[in-house]
Amino acid sequence: MAGRKKIGRLVLSLFILFVFIIIALTGIGSDTFDVHKMRDFIHGSGQLAPLIFSFVFLLIIFMGMPPTLMTVSSGVLFGPYFGLILSTICVNLGGLVLFVAARKIGRKGLQQILSTRLEKLDSRLEQHGLLTVILARLSFVPFGLVCISAALSSIRKRDFLTGTLIGTFPAIFMLSWLGDAAIQMFETRDFSVLLQWQGIVSMLLFASAFAFPVLYEKYRVK
């Protein structure tokens, strides 16, 4: 556990160092924070900045840390659209790697100790894997826990991938847009940015995603 915490701190330190290097190279003064200079530098660096960012993003996922901060940062550093794409790729790729690794390491051992009751539950998970993953993602169950739990069950890989893509998209859309919107509101002190179509769509998506697990549990056929 101590080693994991040290690695987690190292990953966060590398990301913070990455941000400070960009700030230094773009010549942003100590009195003003110009995120546009930072973005211009990132865009001018070609594929290097997205690759470094993606590498840190994936490391954070592999350390079992929530991807929320990195998703917001993607909107700040790369803008709402490319940030959305980058975060979606990293979240789903990181989830896939965790799923495959956990299944390869732990699934066979688990099968040997499953009781009859657990086998029936496992069979139900296989039949309803897509919905299970979607509900877990929309319910904000810790990201890594869903990956590992799904891997140790009989949930199909395609159901896990599809469920992760659908279940995480509302939060990714909102957080990447929010990272960009926060900069605009900080610079202009104008909160009308929240009424732009991206803001309205993100809020509706998030509200629908938040309500879906509750409504499903209330109205589902027993």
Report CA-CA distances (Å) from 213 to 125, 166, 171, 217. 17, 13, 14, 6
- This prediction has a pTM of 0.72
The closest of 95, 98, 77 to 86, measured between CA atoms, is 77
Q: Quote the DSSP letter at residue 220.
A: S
Split into its structural domains, the chain has a count of 1
Query: Over the stretch 143-169, which tens digit does the pLDDT of each residue have?
Result: 988 898 888 888 899 999 999 999 999
The closest of 186, 137, 205, 171 to 32, measured between CA atoms, is 186
Which residue range(s) make up the domain with 176? 2-219
Provide the pLDDT for residue 120: 55
Burial bucket for residue 172 (CB in 10 Å: 0-12, 13-18, 19+): buried
Burial bucket for residue 96 (CB in 10 Å: 0-12, 13-18, 19+): middle
- Give the other-Cβ count within 10 Å of 184's Cβ: 16
The closest of 114, 53, 46, 119 to 83, measured between CA atoms, is 53
- Which is higher by pLDDT, 210 or 78? 78
The closest of 201, 149, 146, 150 to 178, measured between CA atoms, is 201
Average pLDDT, the chain: 76
Query: Over the stretch 116-135, which tens digit does the pLDDT of each residue have?
Result: 545 555 666 677 888 889 98
Provide the pLDDT for residue 29: 43
> With bands split at pLDDT 50, 70 and 90, how would you rate the model's confidence at 76?
confident
